[in-house]
Structure 1
């Protein structure tokens, strides 16, 4: 049997495949804006080829097991063609950002071909230069199936394409790639039969190890029981029905909002909490405005956001696949006052972190490793049910220093999430080099006003900043030297 047949998808990675529908695509990505002369398509393909060995998963495709006898495998694609995966297009004149948003929306409306490695990289030329600047701008749009990449840890091809300086770095040497033979259906079934037979042994081995550490195991079991209970309790308290939770189609709209990371840090320093608390508060305020404009009563209404968190250990850093669990964070749209709203979000997120909800989600994901494919598919649909959450909100801290592609500086990263069934909006947030971008992915028909929601995000951030200004003036006065204060009092 071929060596790579053992590279089976985890239960979590397979769940993203099971959840995918014609109207619900499970790819994620980013829109990256760079400055300088755009590389040619040939230059970009050559650059990708020179570093593809650093992310070998991008050379692999799915091998589905016949008769659903087990989860799929990753196998080498002997027909890998980078000209298919690395694509090139240009915006029509004038090359506005609105035209770029329309193009990106169309690209994210198209499912990835499961018979090929599940990724695309688009080079987009012709983006107009910002007012007051000279030179050129171009765009990279990455699109990767969620089963391949951990959206929190960001282990994907983008992590190896960029350099830390404007001088392109030489990647580690690569060996000549020889793809392994593609497995037959009989071999896949045989592997799955062996895997099913080994599951009881894996469970027994875990039990034996637990017996050698009874004190530690007992404490872990108490935490596990508490965590699973909290996850189940969250599931028994359904998220409210809103205009965000409707039937969706395959088409997408994309919009993004820019902000300065320093503004969010100022707010959290002035009012307390974390940058993520501030992000969730801004999202809450914008959704409150949007719902009220649609005639939805927000009194007593609390939305629920699915907030992915990384459970990747130090030993798992750099490994492919997903190592994430999901917490369900409250968005108190019933609160009118921005400072009070931040306080509610801050306390709620602190309570969730101190609870065992993430541990419970991790353990449930671990149990799914032993589930048959049909049960796994049903569980994945439950995980993304509208009973559990109204929208996805994911916040990924990025590098706070400039990155470069073939000597061109990366100016902006717009993260793009995915829409599960009956979820018309997902908001992904990422910081980079002093700025932070909110990427809004919306169903084309359910949210034709996603641009208005973007404006409401900007208004909500400004509202929080305004709430800190009295504190800001007081802080400045307290920092003035005594001599200047006393001289001012005599005039």
Structure 2
């Protein structure tokens, strides 16, 4: 038995019927031209052969006595007839029907008496443009078992590079040591884990204090000297709020304080609305390089532009910029452990700026300021901590938080979650079927009723929009605005450098020179896939 780390266990304690804590994806799959089998049965057989290499799918929870500490993982043999199920859709169903099915299935909690995963295979889809037979797959994996990067590692084992599945060497599974410790043994294991976690936390405190002291000294030093832009950037990053933007040599600063309240900052219902949209990765890369932006900068700009369009139509559009909570991976290179290793940063989207060039510069400046601080702060974020008594407190707190609608009463720190997960850049196959799309399906939480998760796949950027069905039923419309914002990004001209006029000399001493911002690069137009929804 292996007990869950504190961060992983938190996803179990916070889960309620209104706030399911599983992640996954919607995949559109194309079967070979000569296929005449039963894909559901073929997928079950495929997974049966891969399970020896997938320990995260071969374990279930074991609750500690009286719920005093984090549960543990124990070996379990999944019943593939229960974990891989068929959903028959009306004949010639399309993307709209698939999105509706994901919205209906996502609030259904995973059975904690079984391994925490489930695959839904959709049949009855309309054929492809050349008559290809198609099915779809919606996957559910509990966040207590995997984060985004761990899910990518699982996919590398499950998926193949060609239609012919690669041979898998059978490996012996572990013995049936399923919770035979007994009550006394489990209590001893829980106490031992608490001691280890407390000792580990205590050892990390001196280092954390040193990092915080260094950050404070850096801030004081920067406040004493340096340019006004540098001072503002340091201050805004330190409070994890909106940041300074440099636009054509001039400084545009959004006000300090909490994020504006929007329709997304509410307590969740038990319904979900989902939509997927695909953008061409090559076009996005060409455009963002001309503007000196990263892929993440481009994603934040496009999503911010879509939100600005949506709120302009449906209102109200806040006068302050929307703030995105952006997960930051703490996973070391090469680490494929199936657990959660991530923390959160806050990024300003510049939605209060009508000029797209100013908005892009704002996003780039916000991103750079946050990256500079996260390098130090990441080491302060614990993923494991003592949990004695925490299960009771967190479960009760999560239920009360939703029922009392606390999200509507607290100041808003962020408006939505935007996550960007790197994925494979070549076509992949599952049980002989070619995977055409990889739309992530992630978690909405109380107070953050919209989650936008992006994953690169086969030279595309696949975006999944998951929202509370009552707060945002129009996810398909928002997806259309994502495409419109992407076209705006492509059409955005390179900003010309406008040198500032020479400063006027003052009577008491010489004038100081002002810094001139760098120019941003020029886009090339392209036409992304059109959506049926009208914007």
TM-score by length of 1: 0.84
Other-structure match for 1:88: 86
Q: State the alpha-carbon separation in 1 of the partners of residues 196 and 454 from structure 2.
A: 41
Compute the displacement of 1:460 (Å).
Answer: 0.8
1 or 2, which has the higher helix percentage? 1
Aligned residue pairs total 457
Other-structure match for 1:487: none
Other-structure match for 1:246: 266
Among 370, 380, 385, the alignment partner of 1:369 is: 385
Other-structure match for 2:30: 35
Among 247, 258, 261, the alignment partner of 2:278 is: 258
**Residues 45 and 270 of structure 1, relative CA distance in 2, 3 Å threshold:** same
Compute the displacement of 1:393 (Å).
Answer: 0.6
**Residues 265 and 380 of structure 1, relative CA distance in 2, 3 Å threshold:** farther
C-alpha contact 1:19 1:420 (8 A) present in aligned 2: no
Q: State the alpha-carbon separation in 2 of the partners of residues 371 and 227 from structure 1.
A: 34
C-alpha contact 1:257 1:437 (8 A) present in aligned 2: yes
What secondary structure does 1:141 align onto? strand
Among 324, 337, 348, the alignment partner of 2:366 is: 348
Compute the displacement of 1:438 (Å).
Answer: 1.4
Compute the displacement of 1:133 (Å).
Answer: 2.3
1:14 equivalenced with 2:14 (yes/no): no
Q: State the alpha-carbon separation in 2 of the partners of residues 475 and 387 from structure 1.
A: 35
Uncovered stretches (5+) of structure 1, i.e. residues with no partner = 211-215, 477-491
- Mapping for residues 410-429 of structure 1, pairs under 5 Å: 410-429=435-454
1:443 equivalenced with 2:464 (yes/no): no
**Residues 45 and 470 of structure 1, relative CA distance in 2, 3 Å threshold:** same
**Residues 461 and 175 of structure 1, relative CA distance in 2, 3 Å threshold:** same
Among 131, 135, 139, the alignment partner of 1:138 is: 135
**Residues 198 and 416 of structure 1, relative CA distance in 2, 3 Å threshold:** closer
Other-structure match for 1:314: 333
Q: Deviations over 1:154-208 (max 9, x none)?
A: 356433211112321112331155321324343322211223344454456668x
1:179 equivalenced with 2:204 (yes/no): no
C-alpha contact 1:288 1:298 (8 A) present in aligned 2: no
C-alpha contact 1:152 1:309 (8 A) present in aligned 2: no
Q: State the alpha-carbon separation in 1 of the partners of residues 236 and 5 from structure 2.
A: 24
Q: State the alpha-carbon separation in 2 of the partners of residues 468 and 350 from structure 1.
A: 22
What is the CA RMSD across the aligned residues, in angstroms?
3.2
C-alpha contact 1:155 1:319 (8 A) present in aligned 2: no
Q: State the alpha-carbon separation in 1 of the partners of residues 48 and 370 from structure 2.
A: 43
- Mapping for residues 294-309 of structure 1, pairs under 5 Å: 294-299=314-319, 301-309=320-328
C-alpha contact 2:419 2:452 (8 A) present in aligned 1: yes
Q: State the alpha-carbon separation in 2 of the partners of residues 294 and 343 from structure 1.
A: 26
C-alpha contact 1:426 1:440 (8 A) present in aligned 2: yes
Other-structure match for 1:119: 117
C-alpha contact 1:230 1:360 (8 A) present in aligned 2: no
**Residues 135 and 297 of structure 1, relative CA distance in 2, 3 Å threshold:** closer
Compute the displacement of 1:146 (Å).
Answer: 0.7
Other-structure match for 2:253: none
- Mapping for residues 55-134 of structure 1, pairs under 5 Å: 55-77=54-76, 80-130=78-128, 132-134=129-131
Q: State the alpha-carbon separation in 2 of the partners of residues 123 and 87 from structure 1.
A: 6
* 221-230 or 18-27, larger mean C-alpha shift: 221-230
Compute the displacement of 1:232 (Å).
Answer: 8.0
Other-structure match for 2:239: 233
Q: State the alpha-carbon separation in 2 of the partners of residues 156 and 148 from structure 1.
A: 12
**Residues 158 and 204 of structure 1, relative CA distance in 2, 3 Å threshold:** closer
TM-score by length of 2: 0.78
**Residues 167 and 340 of structure 1, relative CA distance in 2, 3 Å threshold:** same
C-alpha contact 2:288 2:295 (8 A) present in aligned 1: yes
Compute the displacement of 1:462 (Å).
Answer: 0.9
Other-structure match for 2:504: none
C-alpha contact 1:62 1:115 (8 A) present in aligned 2: yes
1:281 equivalenced with 2:280 (yes/no): no
Compute the displacement of 1:298 (Å).
Answer: 3.0
**Residues 272 and 195 of structure 1, relative CA distance in 2, 3 Å threshold:** same
Other-structure match for 1:327: 345
**Residues 314 and 261 of structure 1, relative CA distance in 2, 3 Å threshold:** closer
